[in-house]
Structure 1
Amino acid sequence: MSFFIKGKPALGWVMGLALMYSAQGGNAAQLAAFETPPFNPGERLMLDAQELKWIKENPRVIVATMQFPLYLFKNEQGQWNGLNHDILQRIAQMTGLEFVHRESFSPGELLTMLENGEADMTTLLAMNEERRDFLSFSHAFGGSGWVFVGRDGESSLHSLEQLEGKVLALPARHALEAEIRRDYPAIKLRTTKTYGEARALVESREAYATIENETGVHLYPAGQLQVGSGLEGKWEPDYLAVRQDLSALLSILNKALEAFPAEDMRALRTKWMAGITPVQAPSIWERLSRWGYWCVTVVVVFGLLSLLWNRRLQIQIDQRLKAEAVLKDQLMLQRALMDAIPDPIFIRDLEGRLIMCNKSYEDQFATRFEKLRGTRLTDSAAFPPATAQLLHGEVMEQLRTGQSRFFDRQLMFSGQLREIYHWSVPFYGADGQLRGILGGWSDVGRRLRRCDRFMA
C-alpha cells in the first residue's frame, strides 16, 4: 500500500506522457491525410486520336461556377478553391486541358449559361430530367443527400408528405423542383434566386421549409433555423455535367475519372469534408465505456488532488486560450466568407447604425469600415439627402414590421443613377429577439452591361 501511495505521482506522469504521445501521433496522421496527393506523371491518360485532336483545338474549357463552400469558393486572394477545383486541377494535369471558371450567382443563371453556350461544363449540378435534355453527365465520383431546413421550434420534418398545404422555398430550377411539382402537387412551391433567399423566407415565416445539400447546410449559422432529417431515397451523386454537343469532352472526363486513383479521391474528400458531417449518436456500449472512463478519472483526480491543483489551474487557462483561439478562427472564417461575396453586404442594428459590412461594401463607398462603423444612411454623402432619408425610413419600417424585402430599384449613388437588385432580411439573436437587419444589393445594370459586351 505504501508503494502504491508513493508511486501515484510517477504513475500520473507516465499516463500523461502516454496521452501526449498518442495525441501527437493522431494529429500527425490527420495532417498527413489532409495533404493534397501529389500528381504522378504516369497518370497521364491514353487518349484516342479524336480526343487528342479535340484537346488541341479546344485547350481551354469554360466551367460555369457559383460559390458553394467546400466544393467551390474564392479564397481571400480571389482565387478559386475547394474539392471540385482540386479534382479539375488533377484532371488538367492528366489531360493537358485548362479549366477556366466563369462565375454565376444562382442555379438558374448557371443553367442559362450552359443552355446559351456561354460555358462548356459545370461541376455543381445534380441530375434530373430537365437537365438531361441539354446536358450529359459523367460517371459519379461521390455524393451527398438532401436535408430539410425548417424553422427552429417547429416539429422536425421527415418526409415531403408533411409539407402538403405548406410553402416550400427552393432556388429556381432546383434539382428536385420538377419531381416535387409532379408527385406532390399539394405543396406550395415558392422559387427564389439563391439558397440564401430561400433560407431567409423560412426565417421570416413566409415559407415553412427549404431543402439543401447536407454537405453545405452545416456551414451556415443556424439562426432561427434547424436542420431536419434527410429525404429518404433522395441521394445527390457528384457529376461533371457537359453540354450534349461536346461528346468528346465527356469521353475525356470519364476516362480521367476512371483513371483517378481511388485513394487520391478519398484523400481529397477527407481534406475538404472532414469535420462537417454531423456526429452520430454514440451506441450504448460507447456510453458505458465513457462512464467507466469518467469513474476512473474521478478516482485518480481525488487521489492526486493535492499534487495536481496548480496543474489543473494551468490546464483551465490553456483550455480557455484554445477556446478563444477557436472562436477567433470561426470569426475569421465568417469574415473571409463574407468578404468573398462579390456583392456589397451590410448589417445594421435596431437604430439603423452600421455594425458590419464586407469588402465589396467598403469598395462601393471608397472608404474603410472603421470610418463607416456606427453611421446611418442619413450620414452618408454618397446619396442625395432625400434618398438617404427615404432609405433610412425603409430600414426603420422594416425593423418595426420584421418583414423581408427583395426587389429591383433605381437609386442615385455617388452622382450616378444605378439599377440594383436590393434585398434585406431581419436577423435575431440566440434569445429570439430582433437584433437588426442583414442586407445587400447586386448592380443589375453593371451585370447587363457585361452581358452586352460579351454578346457583342
Structure 2
Amino acid sequence: MLFFIRCKPALSWMMGLVLMYWTQWGGAAQLAASGQPAFESVGRLALDAEELRWIRENPRVVVASMQFPLYLFKDERGQWNGLNDDILRRIAQMTGLEFVHRESFSPDQLIAMLQDGEADMTTTLAMNDERREFLSFSHAFGGSGWVFVGRNGAPMLHSLEQLNGKILALPARHALEAQIKRDHPAIELRTVKTYGEARALVESREAHATIENETGAHLYPAGQLQVGSNLEGRWEPDYLAVRQDLRPLLGILNKALEAFPVEEMRALRAKWLAGIAPRQAPSLWARVSQWGYWCVVGAGVFGLLSLLWSRRLQAQINQRLKAEAVLNDQLSFQRAVMDAIPDPIFIRDLEGRLIMCNRSYEEQFSTRFEKLRGTRLTDSSAFPSATAELLHGELMEQLQTRKPRFVDRQLMFSCGLRDIYHWSVPFYGADGQLRGLLGGWIDVRRRWRHSNRFLA
C-alpha cells in the first residue's frame, strides 16, 4: 500500500501525458480509421437558365478516362473507382448530371478522343499550351508535383540539365513534352504509349530516366528504379478539362467545385492519397513541439521505470539484510554451542586444512584459531612430526572411506603421552556432497577424575 501511495504522483503525471496525447492525435486517428466521414449534403446548385437548359438537353457527359491508380482506376469488379470518380459522383448529386466513363489506354489516345468529339471531358490531364488550344480547364482542386524516376544506383536526378545528351522516356503528348523540346533541346526524347512502357525502358537501360506524377511514382515497387527530387519545384494542379465548345459544362463544373465543401474535399484526398503523396515538411516550431512532447513522455516513462526499479532493488536489499541477520544469528548460536563444549572440537576440509575449532581446542594448544586457520596437522607444532603424519594419514583415509571413527587410544602430544577417546565423522553439505571431517577427543584421565569426584 505504501508503494502505491508513493507512486501516485508519478502515475497521475503519466495519465495526464496520455490524455494530452489522446486529445492531440485522437481526432486524426478517428478520421484515418473511417474511410470517408459523412458531411452535410449540399443542395442543387444555383444555375442560370442556359446551364439548366444544357443539362436537360445533355444529361449524360462522356468522360475520357485512363487508369491512373488512386485517382481513377477499375476495381476487381470492373467498376471505376478512385479520387476523381468520387468527385464526379459528388458533382452528379449537386447538378443532376450523369458521368459516363469511356476508357482510353494512353495519353495520346485520350487526347485524340477529346479532339474527335468522342468524349466531352477528362479528369486526368495536366494543363499545357497545346491542350489549351482545344480544351478549357476548370478551377484547380488539388495537385501534385512532377518527379524524376531513374535507375537504382545511378546519381539522383535534381534538374533537367542533368539529362543533357541523355535519353528521356515519356508517354506521347506528355504535359511536359513541348516545354522540354523548347527549353532543353539537348535532351533526347523517346516517346512511348504509357508510363509503364517508359519505366520499362529505364529499367532496361534503354533510357536514362522518365518523369511521372509524384503520387503515381510512389505507388509502384522500387525494383530497379528510384524516385528522384521534384522537377525544379514545379507543381501541377488537378483540373477537370472540358472541350472548348462545351462552355456551359465548364461553368457548371466550376460552380460545383466552388460549392464543394472544403472538409469533404480534404477527406476525399486523405481517403485515397494519405500515406502515398509525400507530406509537407513540418515547420520548425512543429518539429520542436513534437520532439519536446516525446522528450517529456520519454522522461516520464524513464522516471516511472526508475522509481519501480529502485523500489524493487530496495525490497531485495531489505530481504537480503534480513536473511544475513538470520544467518549471523545462527552462526553465533553455533559458535556459542561449540565454545560451551569443554572438550576440543575441530573441523577440517577435504585437504585436511583446519576451517573451524572451539575455544577448548585453542586452550589445548595455547594458541588462537586465527594462527591455525588453513593449516594441516603436519604444518603445526601441536603434535610431534610422527604423530602429525599418522593423524593426517588417518584423516585422509577416513575421507576416502567416509566411515566414522570412535576409538580409545594413547596419543603423543607435544606435552607428553595422553590417553584419549578420539572420534571423527564425515560431514556433508546441503547438496549432499562431502565437505570434510568433524572430530575431537576426550581426555580419559580427566573424565575418570570427574567421575570419581561425582561418586565421592
For the superposition of Structure 1 and Structure 2, which TM-score range results when normalised by the shorter chain? Answer: 0.5 to 0.7
CA distance in 1, matches of 2:309, 2:15: 17
Distance in 2 (CA, whole Å) between partners of 1:300 and 1:107 is 61
Aligned to 1:39: 41
Mapped contact 1:39–1:93 kept (Cα < 8 A) = no
Q: Residues 52, 194 of structure 1: CA spacing in aligned structure 2 closer, same or farther, 3 A cutoff?
A: same
Asked if 1 retains the 8 angstrom alpha-carbon contact of 2:17 and 2:297, the reply is: no
More deviation, 192-201/26-35: 26-35
Instruction: Quote the Cα distance in structure 1 between the aligned partners of 2:58 and 2:280.
Output: 47
CA–CA separation in structure 2 for the residues paired with 1:3 and 1:60: 71
Distance 2:19 2:46 in 1: 50
Corresponding position: 1:27 with 2:29: yes
Aligned mates of 2:29, 2:290 — CA distance in 1: 24
Distance 1:209 1:113 in 2: 28
Matches within 5 A, 1:300-311: 300-301=304-305
2:232 counterpart of 1:229: no
Deviation at residue 195 of structure 1 after TM alignment: 0.6
Q: 1:98 to 1:3 in 2, by over 3 A?
A: closer
Q: 1:103-122 alignment to 2 at 5 Å?
A: 103-122=103-122
Given that 1:151 and 1:226 are in contact with CA atoms closer than 8 Å, whether structure 2 keeps it comes out as yes
Tell me the residue number matched to 1:357: none
Q: Which moved more, 1:182-191 or 1:130-139?
A: 130-139
2: CA distance, partners of 1:237 / 1:32? 27
Q: Distance in 2 between matches of 1:280 and 1:53?
A: 44
Task: Return the alpha-carbon distance in structure 1 between the equivalents of residues 28 and 121 of structure 2.
Answer: 40
Structure 1 139/16 Cα, relative in aligned 2: closer, same or farther at 3 Å? closer
- Secondary structure, in 3 states, of the residue corresponding to 1:90? helix
Listed one character per residue, the Cα deviations across residues 205-240 of structure 1 (whole Å, up to 9, x for unaligned) are: 111111111122111111111111101242211111
| Equivalent of 1:285 in 283, 288, 291 | 288
CA shift for structure 1 position 90: 1.3
Amino acid at match of 1:30: A
For residue 104 of structure 1, report the CA deviation from its aligned partner: 0.8
Alpha-carbon separation, structure 2, partners of 1:151 and 1:28: 39
Match of 1:219, SS state, is: coil
Partner secondary structure for residue 126 of structure 1: coil
Query: Cα offset for 1:278?
Result: 2.6
For residue 440 of structure 1, what is the aligned residue in structure 2? Answer: none
Equivalent residue letter for 1:160: L
Match of 2:208 in 1: 208
Q: How many residues align?
A: 306
Give, in angstroms, the shift of residue 61 of structure 1. Answer: 0.4
Moved more, 176-185 or 68-77: 68-77
Q: Distance in 2 between matches of 1:189 and 1:249?
A: 36
1:197 corresponds to which residue?
197
Counterpart contact for 1:35–1:271, Cα < 8 Å: no
Residue in 1 aligned with 2:53?
53
Quote the Cα distance in structure 2 between the aligned partners of 1:202 and 1:286.
42
Q: Who is 2:257 aligned against?
A: 257
Q: CA 1:31–1:189 in 2, change beyond 3 Å: closer, same or farther? A: same
Q: Distance in 1 between matches of 2:307 and 2:114?
A: 69
Other structure's SS at 1:216 match: helix
1:128 to 2:131 alignment: no
| Unmatched runs of 5 consecutive residues or more in structure 1 | 309-456
Q: What does 1:35-434 align with in structure 2 at a 5 Å threshold?
A: 35=37, 37-41=39-43, 44-279=44-279, 285=288, 289=292, 290=294, 293-294=297-298, 297-298=301-302, 300-301=304-305
Q: Is the 8 A contact 1:8 1:304 kept in 2?
A: no
Give the greater-gyration-radius structure (CA). 2
Distance in 1 separating the partners of 2:19 and 2:140: 43
Counterpart residue type for residue 30 of structure 2: A
Conserved? CA contact 2:124–2:239, under 8 Å: yes
**One-letter identity of the residue aligned with 1:132:** R
RMSD: 3.0
Structure 2 Cα separation of the partners of residues 36 and 129 of structure 1: 39
Give, in whole Å, the separation in 2 of the partners of 1:106 and 1:306. 68
- TM value normalised by structure 1: 0.60
What's the TM-score once normalised by structure 2's chain length?
Answer: 0.60
Alignment CA distance shift 1:116-1:5 (3 Å) = same
